[in-house]
Every structure is written in structure tokens, then in C-alpha cells.
């Protein structure tokens, strides 16, 4: 498990270093994810301990959002000022994105005779 955690941190570190060296418009951990994804595809399979540790960490994903979420306390005035526009934008945009994705995928998979 320690080895798996170290591997995840090393991929993150590699991502951060490459982003800083190349100026890619990506967060370091995202590039780390892409590197790991490419590595997993190239390798075919990952050691069981590694996938277990990764899934374990992801099962607590929700908790990891809490400290950042509490940061809303610094923006309470902003949210109180703009809550109506925020709510309308957020709900309408989420619904639109979902409809466009679902209809595009359905149209493309059914016309191919699946």
C-alpha cells in the first residue's frame, strides 16, 4: 500500500514537473492522471495492490472536497449578492450539457445498428 501511494505521488510529481517545464495549460495532477492512464494501457494490467489502493482512495473522494468547500465562508457576500444568477446558470447549463451529451451519443450509437 505504501508503494502504491508512493507511485501515485510520483505520477503527481512528474505531472507537476512537466507542467512547469513546458507551460502546458493543465493542472499537474491531471497530467499525472493522463500519464498513469497511458502507463496502465501500455502495461495491460496493474498490480492488484495498486488498483485496490487507488479505489480505496477514490472511495473517500467526497470527504476530500470538504476543506475546499468550507472556503465558501470567504465568499458568502459574493454568493448572497449573485445567488439568483448563479442558480439559473448552474441548473440550466447542467441540464443542457446532459441533454446534448445523451442525444449525441444515442444518435451515433443507434444509427450504427447496435
Partner 1 sequence: MNRLAQIWVYIEETPLLWLALTLCVFWLAQQLYRRLGEFPLLNPVLISVIVLVVILAVTGTPYSDYFDGAQFIHFLLGPATVALAVPLAGQARELRRYWLPITIALTAGSLTAVASAMLLGWALGLDSQTLLSMLPKSVTTPIAMGVTEQIGGLPSLTAVLVILTGITGAVIGIPLLRLLGVRDPVAKGFAMGVAAHGIGTARAFEHSERAGAYSGLGMGLNGALTALLVPLLVWLFGF
Residues 36-95 that bind partner 1 (CB under 8 A): 36-37, 40-41, 46, 50-51, 53-55, 57-58, 60-75, 78-79, 81-82, 84-86, 88-95
Whole-angstrom CA distances from 15 to 26, 31, 47, 51 are 9, 5, 22, 20
What sign for the dihedral angle of Cα 27, 14, 38, 25?
positive
- In the complex, least distance from residue 59 CB atom to partner 1, rounded to whole angstroms: 10
Q: Site for partner 1 (CB under 8 A): which residue of 17, 27, 47, 49?
A: 27
Residue 101 CA to residue 104 CA, distance in Å, equals: 5
- In the complex, least distance from residue 18 CB atom to partner 1, rounded to whole angstroms: 13
Amino acid at each position: 500500500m505504501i508503494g502504491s501511494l508512493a507511485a501515485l505521488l510520483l505520477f503527481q510529481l512528474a505531472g507537476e514537473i512537466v507542467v512547469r517545464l513546458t507551460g502546458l495549460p493543465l493542472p499537474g495532477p491531471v497530467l499525472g492522471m493522463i500519464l498513469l492512464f497511458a502507463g496502465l494501457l501500455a502495461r495491460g494490467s496493474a498490480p492488484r495492490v495498486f488498483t485496490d489502493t487507488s479505489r480505496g482512495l477514490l472511495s473517500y473522494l467526497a470527504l476530500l472536497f470538504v476543506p475546499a468547500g468550507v472556503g465558501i465562508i470567504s465568499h458568502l457576500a459574493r454568493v448572497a449578492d449573485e445567488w439568483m444568477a448563479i442558480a439559473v446558470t448552474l441548473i440550466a447549463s447542467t441540464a443542457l450539457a446532459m441533454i446534448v451529451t445523451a442525444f449525441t451519443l444515442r444518435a451515433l450509437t443507434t444509427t450504427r445498428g447496435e
